Amino acid sequence: MELIITEKDNAARRIADILSGESADATRENGVNVYEWGGKRCVGLSGHVVGVDFPPEYSDWRDVEPVELVDASIEKTPTKENIVATLRILARQGDRVTIATDYDREGELIGKEAYEIVREVNEEVPIDRVRFSSITENEVQSAFAEPDEIDFDLAAAGEARQIIDLVWGAALTRFLSLSSGQLGNDFISVGRVQSPTLKLIVDREREIEAFDPETYWELFADLIKDDDPFEAQYFYLDEDDNEAERVWEESAAEGAYETLSSADSATVTSVNARTRTDTPPAPFNTTQFIRAASAIGFSAKRAMSIAEDLYTAGYITYPRTDNTVYPDDLEAEELLDSFVGHPVLGESAEDLLEGDGDLVPTEGDEETTDHPPIHPTGEIPARGGDVDEDEWRVYELVVRRYYATVAEPAIWEHLKVVAEADGRQLKANGKRLVEAGYHDVYPYFNTSENYVPAVEEGEELAIGDVELEEKETQPPRRYGQSRLIETMEDLGIGTKSTRHNTLEKLYDRGYIENDPPRPTQLAMAVVDAAENYADRVVSEEMTAQLEADMDAIATGEATLEDVTDESREMLEAVFEQLRASRDEVGDHLRKSLKADKRLGPCPDCGEDLLVRRSRYGSYFVGCDGYPDCEFTLPLPSTGKPLILEETCDDHDLHEVKMLAGRQTFVHGCPLCKAEEAGEGPVLGACPDCGEEHGGELAIKTLQNGSRLVGCTRYPDCEYSLPLPRRGDIEVTDERCDEHDLPELVVHNGDEPWELGCPICNYREFQAREAESGSALESIEGIGAKTVEKLTAAGIESIDDLLEADPESLASTVEGVSEDRVRTWQTAA
DNA sequence: GCAAGGTC
């Protein structure tokens, strides 16, 4: 029996299809798919099925000095037991084994891991390696016709990376965590990829903090041709006869303003027209795909998650690739043909097929062997059936990007007009899209035009409105997620499969908040500490050096031991420096952790007010002077608090935003909110105790900002009805016949919401809940505690749960995984 | 309970 081993199940299935002529049978062994036909079997791994770690005696952080990890031995153990077990069974029965993992360095290592598992149980069997960069009939057939051997040097290069990453990462992570007493869930991590990425964000933040804005002026005048005005901007030439960048002096700006305001015409002194070819974009690699998806509103994580689903379902090719050059055997006509007649995607495909274009695709700079660029397979999902709207939008983006790469360039006409009025110069830059080219099939780029009419040199133009604006130079902008991923790629840190996960890791570790990400004080302190004592680990140089070393191992110029020994020596030297500064580093980290929770001064004692968590998991504001000072403020019960940069003028406290998925809202200054608390207008008699004790219903605002209709005899009477958190509540003159309460209208945004009688409103709400099956508890796998956590995150009904994005929910609710959410959604 | 790299 011949055994073929691939990197993933999906590849195993497709290779089995190709080699068997679609006659392979699928069976399951230990929950692993095995494809079998005519004396052959094909099985897919799941990436790495073994992992590196220290022996168990190193596992207690407190018992082991971090520096001991530098020279500790490293073991390889199975991490996917079922797959390893299956592989062993199949390998025993094999008389020939072919490793068909991905064609890149990590694939070679994964292949070598499979090789070792096979060898353990079968010493004799011949083991080959085949390499192909896309799973197509041609490539696969020819790879299998001429099998090669495993490249053990290349695999060793990958192993060196594993060892160096583990040793540096684990030793330094433990050191920082121990020095600051941050053990358990809130440990402080560093690593070869995450730390330089964090430094990018921190460095940018330092620039922003150090930025000193400068004032400058912008002066615009309307020039008029045939009653049509167009905008021109004042400029002047500097000593070198170049256009000055900006007008920095107020007097110069005002002088020009006065001249232009009193001039009634300007003479055209130059007209410069040129056409520019706007070439279509290159095929999608992972990074460019993430960038394009982010431009239409998807986070990096969400874009990748959708792409993975579309890939697994067979609609697009493998989404983790560095390649930007399509394989030769990808036939444009054939692929475009599969879209002909489609209601949404058909017209563009038909235009491309019928056009004069030669359908030769664009190429990017990166040509690699890993996988083809991301493109549609030709299998089209049903919108609203096979895929939901978000998935469709991502799918359409991938299809249209493919269209763009085989479409014609666009042609722009640029027109620069310079005119002069009383010695003052004005310029206008126009642009017009003459040939839309690929923009017709790829409508994601901005194609807005700027109107400047055709004028001739010497022509007189009337001057219309003149405007002078005072402006300030702006600090550099924070990196957005996709810009960060692009920069990581430029610097060579991380891989196509991990860069987006690295950003998620920084969020999870409390290093960055918000979007675009902003570093926490903790992040600043970690980068500081690393810069002072372990500069390598926050520098992209470490990766650059590692890449060079890995190349040396791969070509046989160095050995794994040479490289890892040298790296261990460097880390040893780092610890030499760190030893004496343990307390100092720990202190700084601890102070920064506190600063991340700080809202401002306590109104009672002047110490710091901090966001804290109660024993029951709810958030509140408490004084750092506790127990001497017992001042506290409540926070809303929905979501996780994020401290904003904005502060309140009255109390000098930072405002708070509550992160709760779709229900995220800005709470504001918690002290203001508490002060606003109180009883509003009385609506009528309390249905519970009105007759007996004279209780009345009133609109109340609680200290945590939530509002309700409650009895004035609270806490003796606990009758209450919910009200929305936001919007002004108007009490109208209309009264409900049944309950004799006024109808309420909520003004929030454009459309006023007629809430009506609060009792009727609450009844309707309950009825809707009951109808939708309501109670979250009714879903299998959700207990009372989970319901509480979900409610806090804004998930109050089954409908909410069904609409929720599993990823963002998993990230906001502790102890809930994406998989669990998906299971609930299926169950619901 | 540490990293980064695969994959789901």
| Beta pairing, strands A40-44 & A2-6 | parallel
Tokens of A409: 């360039």
The protein residue nearest B4 (Cα–C1') is: A165
A623: Cα within 13 Å, side-chain hemisphere: 16
A715-763: per-residue pLDDT in tens?
Answer: 888 888 888 887 888 888 888 888 888 888 888 876 777 878 888 788 8
The rounded distance, in Å, linking the Cα atoms of A223 and A417 is: 11
Instruction: Give the span between the Cα atoms of A697 and A719, in whole angstroms.
Output: 9
Residue A126: which of A154, A94, A90 has the closest Cα?
A: A94
Nucleotide nearest to A195 (CA to C1'): B3
The answer to whether residues A440 and A447 touch, using CB atoms and an 8 Å cutoff, is no
**In this structure, which CATH number among 3.30.720.210, 3.30.70.870, 2.70.20.10, 3.40.50.720 belongs to the domain A215-279+411-472?**
2.70.20.10
Per-residue pLDDT tens over the stretch A15-53:
999 999 999 999 999 999 999 999 999 999 999 999 999
pLDDT at A455: 95
Structural element, H or E, at residue A801: helix A798-803
Helices (H), A151-285: 152-179, 194-210, 250-262
Distance CA A621, CA A610 (A): 6
Q: How far is the CA of A554 from the C1' of B6 (A)?
A: 19
Q: Which nucleotide is nearest to A165 (CA to C1')?
A: B3
Tell me the average pLDDT across A763-773: 66
Calculate the angstrom distance between C1' of B8 and CA of A377: 21
Q: Starting from the edge strand earliest in sequence, which strands make up the sheet with A654-659, in order?
A: A640-647, A654-659, A665-668
DSSP A703-771: TTS-EEEEETTTTT---EEE--SSSEEEEEEEE-TTT--EEEEEE-SSS-EEEE-HHHHHHHHHHHHHH
Active site residue A318: yes
Average pLDDT over residues A663-672: 88
For A72-130, write each residue's pLDDT tens digit: 999 999 999 999 999 999 999 999 999 999 999 999 999 999 999 999 999 999 999 99
Residue nearest to nucleotide B8 (CA to C1'): A46
A60, closest nucleotide (Cα–C1'): B1
How far is residue A548's CA from residue A566's CA, in Å, rounded to a whole number? 13
- Domain ranges in chain A are 2-45+80-150, 160-210+478-590, 215-279+411-472, 286-408, 597-673, 677-770, 772-827
Report CA(A193)–C1'(B3) in Å, whole number. Answer: 9
What string of H, E and C letters represents the secondary structure of A653-664? CEEEEEECHHHC
Nucleotide nearest to A102 (CA to C1'): B6
**In Å, what is the separation between the CA of A98 and the C1' of B6?**
19
Q: Band of the pLDDT at A799, cuts 50, 70, 90?
A: low
Residue A817 reports pLDDT greater than 70: no
Amino acid at A31: G
pLDDT at A811 over 50: yes
For B6, nearest residue by CA–C1' is A47
CA distance A737 to A338: 63
Residue A574 has pLDDT above 80, yes or no: yes
**Angle (deg, nearest 10), helices A560-579 and A582-595:** 80
Q: What is the pLDDT of residue A134?
A: 87
- Checking each nucleotide's C1' against the CA of A62, the nearest proves to be B1
Residue A78 (CA) to nucleotide B5 (C1'), in angstroms, measures 15
Residue ranges of E strands in A489-637: 512-513, 518-519, 598-601, 608-613, 619-623, 632-634
CA atoms within 13 A on the CB side of A641: 27
CA-to-CA distance for A2 and A124, rounded, in angstroms? 13
**Residue A307: strand, helix, or coil:** helix
d(CA A554, CA A105): 9
Q: How far apart are CA A677 and CA A688, in angstroms?
A: 24
Q: Rounded to 5 degrees, what are φ and ψ at A445? A: -95, 155
What's the rounded Cα separation, in Å, for the pair A297 and A795? 23
Between CA A133 and C1' B8 the distance (Å) reads 22
Sign of CA dihedral A128, A129, A134, A138: negative
Q: Which residues have C-beta within 8 Å of that of residue A231, sequence separation ≥ 6?
A: A220, A221, A222, A223, A428
- Stretch (H or E) spanning A235: strand A228-235
Query: What pLDDT does residue A698 have?
Result: 84
Q: With cut-offs at 50, 70 and 90, classify the pLDDT of residue A818.
A: low
Q: State pLDDT tens for residues A288-335.
A: 999 999 999 999 999 999 999 999 999 999 999 999 999 998 999 999
Q: Round the average pLDDT of chain A to a whole number and report it.
A: 91
Distance B1 C1' – A819 CA (angstroms): 21
The neighbouring-strand residues paired with A621 are A611, A633
Helix, strand, or coil (residue A803): helix
Domain A286-408 has CATH 1.10.290.10: yes
Residue A811 CA to nucleotide B1 C1', Å?
Answer: 18
Measured distance between the N- and C-terminal CA atoms of chain A, rounded to whole angstroms: 45
Spatial distance between the Cα atoms of A368 and A768, rounded to a whole number of angstroms: 55
Closest residue by C-alpha to C1' distance, nucleotide B1: A184
Measured distance CA(A234)–CA(A241) in Å, rounded: 15
Task: Compute the distance between CA of residue A216 and CA of residue A633 in angstroms, rounded to an integer.
Answer: 44
Q: Which CATH architecture best describes the domain A772-827?
A: Orthogonal Bundle (1.10)
Tell me the pLDDT tens digit for each residue of A447-471.
999 999 999 999 999 999 999 999 9
Q: Which of A115, A311, A318, A438 is catalytic?
A: A318
The amino acid at residue A295 is A
CATH for A2-45+80-150?
3.40.50.140
- Edge-first strand listing for the sheet containing A707-711: A678-685, A696-701, A707-711, A720-722
For A160-210+478-590, the fitting CATH number among 1.10.1020.10, 1.10.460.10, 1.20.1600.10, 3.40.50.720 is 1.10.460.10
Angle at A316 between CA A38 and CA A33, to 5 degrees: 35
CB A114 within 8 A of CB A5: yes
Per-residue pLDDT of A364-423, as tens digits, reads 999 999 999 999 999 999 999 999 999 999 999 999 999 999 999 999 999 999 999 999
Per the DSSP assignment, residues forming a β-bridge with A513 are: A518
Query: Which nucleotide shows the minimum CA-to-C1' distance to residue A80?
Result: B7
Give strand B nucleotides closer than 7 A to any protein Cβ.
1-8
**Token reading at A165:** 């990453």
- Which nucleotide lies at the shortest CA–C1' distance from A311? B8
* B2 nearest neighbour residue (CA to C1'): A170
Å from A656 (CA) to B1 (C1')?
30
